Amino acid sequence: MQRIGVFVCHCGTNIAATVDVKAVAEAMKNEPGVVFSVDYQYMCSEAGQNLIQDTIKEQKLTGVVVCSCSPRMHEATFRKAAAKAGINSYMVEIANIREQCSWIHKDIMTATEKAIILARTAVAKVQLNAPLTPGESPVTKRALVIGGGIAGIQTALDIAEAGFDVDIVEKQPTIGGKMTQIDKTFPTLDCAACILTPKMVDCAQNEKIHIYAYSEVESVSGFVGNFTVKIKKKARYVDTTKCTGCGICTEKCPKKSVPNEFNLGMDNRRAIYIPFAQAVPKVATIDADNCNMLKNGKCGVCAKVCTAGAIDYKQQDEIIEEQYGAIVAATGYNPISLEKYDEFAYSQSKDVVTSLEFERLTNAAGPTSGQLLRPSDGKHPHTIVFVQCVGSRDTSGCGKEYCSKICCMYTAKHAMLTREKYPDTDVYVFYIDVRTPGKLFDEFYRRAVEQYGVHYIKGMVGKVAPRADGKLLVQASDLIANEQLHIEADMVVLAAAIEPDKSARSIATMLTASMDTNDFFTEAHPKLRPVESPTAGVFLSGVCQGPKDIPETVSQASAAAAKVIGLLSKDKLTCNPCVAHSDELMCNGCSACEKVCPYGAITYSDKEFRQPDRTVAIRRVASVNEAVCQGCGACTVACPSGAMDLKGFSNKQIMAEVDAICK
């Protein structure tokens, strides 16, 4: 039997004016288990807390009920006080007789009556309380960043800056991501490479940062502070410690006709290649699918020309296992495939390009060395039509329901740059809405219209028909003039919607991080915890969480880094002790709890149990990882055998509360 003390607070007159506190204290004396009951002016004051502590010692109390304000207000205060007096802080319950009683009722009789019932309910609960100890788990002071684009780079640099080790896993041969392919950045028009490549070099030179390029995450286990990750280093067939990045092999390789991914297939590379001049790490990679030596053993030119002896045709994929305290997902995006949009003739004409291809066509390192030329005949285009919202805001099933957010601005950028460099070009932009919220964004768009004379037309392109003479016949509506336009264009640029990288889904599954229907990672709270995943220890950076431009990505990347640093700077994590617990003797191994757990905190394992007949049987039972469980209780209700219960809010406790209220 517990020895319970009840402390009724006056809260000045806040409670005492409508609740007869003396009567409440008196009534509680008759409750089972209550050995002491008193009222006091201000329970939360130091004198009040001392009263509780002294009584705990004098009366040898095992449980405490404080009838006062909301537990959201002072539960922590009273728990701390109780702990100081030597009893477990989870042996304290609060009866909320202010917010939920004195403040809402006017009649003293009714209010007192209700206060007594609330106090009795709390007493009934304390009767069944058990001491709880928050678990502790150590923190591995190393972070993993999945994805080496600008988001991953910024996160890694910030974490390293704080003095923690951080690894970047990038599936491409070089870090840098999409930003390396972009020519200029809005709204300031500075060149992307000029601002990105120094950061890439910083990553390579920082001794706290380790880059696993051309690698993929293979599996993730563990929980916040203690993740174990297997990373697959794909075979490059080049010894990265020996390769100097001189590039002779990439010039001598006889296999010349491999589409170059970096320029989106608009020119060719060799079978052994370095993606671009500023690649980090700057080492060659052999594309096994196209290498004659690896396919049929006939060639070996690269090995012959390599003075460093770095070529190794026998290299194998390598699996590395590492421990991490925190993981940041920065998996990025890709433009959607435009196969389903026949009306824009993307697959019929080379002169219909996506905006990312247009970036390469205007980039000095691109296939045309920065000259804006038509991919079909290499001639200078005189009329260019830009189409916005291709696949964005599309509920027809072909595209994406959301706004891709960046297209309005980059289209304005393309249109402006085209007009600046080639004033003899007519530029049309077809828009549904122009969305330019952001610092200096709308000014930028207006400049394209007002200074550079870009024709912005409210309407949508309905059809693009390539003509035999190479022109593209664009049929579109102009909603403001209420007419249909027929434009003979030389090039059409499609602002394709962006979607999360395909690898994100499998990574989310490994991390047990939740995703929305569009495969963007979900945040722990859409407004207040935007860079954390609901899974503890997993953080989000960049477009993997939702479409965003470079300034926003960098801010979010730094925010994620701040959260990681906050986590890694702790030596130990204290866990919430009010977590689920499975009674292994009752568990029937049905997996119902595992399926409803939003955090992946429940795992199953085979365990040996001694049977009544002294034999040993192996049964599959659930166990809860207390460091991961957040204590929602979904599993406790899902459990058909009643094995799962929630500490601090156990079935018995809530039943007792129900009984006390209905008495």
Asked if 438 is part of the footprint of another protein (rule: CB under 8 A), the reply reads no
- Between 290 and 636, CB nearer to another protein: 636
Report in angstroms how near the CB of residue 389 gets to another protein at its nearest: 7
> What residues pair up with 146 in beta bridges, in sequence order?
169, 329
- Between 114 and 184, CB nearer to another protein: 114
Residue 595 phi, psi dihedral angles, 5° rounding = -70, -30
Report in angstroms how near the CB of residue 394 gets to another protein at its nearest: 4
Asked if 99 is part of the footprint of another protein (rule: CB under 8 A), the reply reads yes
Report in angstroms how near the CB of residue 243 gets to another protein at its nearest: 46
Token representation of residue 556: 């979010």
Asked if 487 is part of the footprint of another protein (rule: CB under 8 A), the reply reads no
Secondary structure class of 222 (helix, strand, coil): strand
- Footprint (CB under 8 A) of another protein, residues 331-390: 343, 389
Residue selected from 280, 484, 532, 583 as contacting another protein according to rule CB under 8 A:
484
Give a three-class secondary structure readout of 390-459.
Answer: ECCCCCCCCCCCCCCCCHHHHHHHHHHHHHHHCCCCEEEEEECCCCCCCCCHHHHHHHHHHCCCCEEEEC
Residues 6 or more apart whose CB falls under 8 angstroms from that of 282 comprise 174, 245, 274
Q: In what order do the strands lie in the sheet with 326-329?
A: 209-212, 165-169, 142-146, 326-329, 538-540
Asked if 657 is part of the footprint of another protein (rule: CB under 8 A), the reply reads yes
Strands 644-646 and 580-582: antiparallel
Asked if 64 is part of the footprint of another protein (rule: CB under 8 A), the reply reads no
Token representation of residue 563: 């959260």
Asked if 458 is part of the footprint of another protein (rule: CB under 8 A), the reply reads yes
Asked if 67 is part of the footprint of another protein (rule: CB under 8 A), the reply reads no
Residue selected from 53, 263, 625, 636 as contacting another protein according to rule CB under 8 A:
636
- Footprint (CB under 8 A) of another protein, residues 576-635: 578, 596, 598, 630-634
**How far apart, in whole angstroms, are the C-alpha atoms of residue 389 and residue 496?**
7
Report in angstroms how near the CB of residue 419 gets to another protein at its nearest: 23
Asked if 113 is part of the footprint of another protein (rule: CB under 8 A), the reply reads yes
Give a three-class secondary structure readout of 1-42.
Answer: CCCEEEEEECCCCCCCCCCCHHHHHHHHCCCCCEEEEEEECC
Residue 144 phi, psi dihedral angles, 5° rounding = -115, 130
Asked if 114 is part of the footprint of another protein (rule: CB under 8 A), the reply reads yes
Residue 239 amino acid letter: D
Asked if 9 is part of the footprint of another protein (rule: CB under 8 A), the reply reads no
- Between 166 and 628, CB nearer to another protein: 628
Strands 472-478 and 483-489: antiparallel
Token representation of residue 444: 């930028």
- Footprint (CB under 8 A) of another protein, residues 297-326: none
**Radius of gyration for the alpha carbons in the chain, expressed in angstroms and rounded:** 33
**How far apart, in whole angstroms, are the C-alpha atoms of residue 544 and residue 548?**
9
Asked if 241 is part of the footprint of another protein (rule: CB under 8 A), the reply reads no
Report in angstroms how near the CB of residue 633 gets to another protein at its nearest: 3
- Between 221 and 484, CB nearer to another protein: 484
Find out whether 121 and 94 touch, Cβ atoms under 8 Å. Answer: no
Find out whether 183 and 363 touch, Cβ atoms under 8 Å. Answer: yes
- Between 116 and 193, CB nearer to another protein: 116
Token representation of residue 442: 């709308």
SS3 content of the chain, % helix, strand, coil (to 5): 30, 25, 45
- Between 306 and 495, CB nearer to another protein: 495
CA terminus-to-terminus distance, the chain: 21
- Between 357 and 645, CB nearer to another protein: 645
Asked if 100 is part of the footprint of another protein (rule: CB under 8 A), the reply reads yes
Asked if 655 is part of the footprint of another protein (rule: CB under 8 A), the reply reads yes
Q: For the range 601-607, what are the long-range contacts, defined as Cβ-Cβ under 8 Å and sequence gap of 24 or more?
A: 601/223, 601/625, 601/628, 601/629, 601/630, 602/629, 602/635
Asked if 476 is part of the footprint of another protein (rule: CB under 8 A), the reply reads yes
Size of the site for another protein (CB under 8 A): 68
Asked if 394 is part of the footprint of another protein (rule: CB under 8 A), the reply reads yes
Residue selected from 204, 294, 460, 592 as contacting another protein according to rule CB under 8 A:
460
- Between 292 and 588, CB nearer to another protein: 588
- Segment interacting with another protein (CB under 8 A) among 31-39, 92-100, 214-222, 271-279: 92-100
- Segment interacting with another protein (CB under 8 A) among 67-75, 145-153, 438-446, 487-495: 67-75
Asked if 266 is part of the footprint of another protein (rule: CB under 8 A), the reply reads no
Residue 218 phi, psi dihedral angles, 5° rounding = -95, -45
Residue selected from 383, 522, 603, 623 as contacting another protein according to rule CB under 8 A:
522
| Chain length of the chain | 663
Residue selected from 103, 313, 422, 452 as contacting another protein according to rule CB under 8 A:
103
Asked if 652 is part of the footprint of another protein (rule: CB under 8 A), the reply reads no
Report in angstroms how near the CB of residue 562 gets to another protein at its nearest: 22
> What residues pair up with 616 in beta bridges, in sequence order?
610
Asked if 110 is part of the footprint of another protein (rule: CB under 8 A), the reply reads yes
Strands 461-466 and 318-324: unpaired
- Between 484 and 509, CB nearer to another protein: 484
**How far apart, in whole angstroms, are the C-alpha atoms of residue 239 and residue 231?**
18
Asked if 395 is part of the footprint of another protein (rule: CB under 8 A), the reply reads yes
The one-character DSSP state at 123 is H
Asked if 96 is part of the footprint of another protein (rule: CB under 8 A), the reply reads yes
**Distance (Å) of CA 453 to CA 295, 377, 424:** 54, 27, 11
Report in angstroms how near the CB of residue 619 gets to another protein at its nearest: 24
Asked if 396 is part of the footprint of another protein (rule: CB under 8 A), the reply reads yes
**How far apart, in whole angstroms, are the C-alpha atoms of residue 20 and residue 108?**
7
- Between 194 and 637, CB nearer to another protein: 637
Residue selected from 101, 166, 493, 536 as contacting another protein according to rule CB under 8 A:
101
Residues that bind another protein (CB under 8 A): 70-72, 96, 98-101, 103-106, 110-111, 113-114, 117-118, 121, 343, 389, 393-399, 430, 432, 458-463, 475-479, 482, 484, 514, 522, 534, 578, 596, 598, 630-634, 636-638, 646, 649, 651, 654-655, 657-659, 661-663
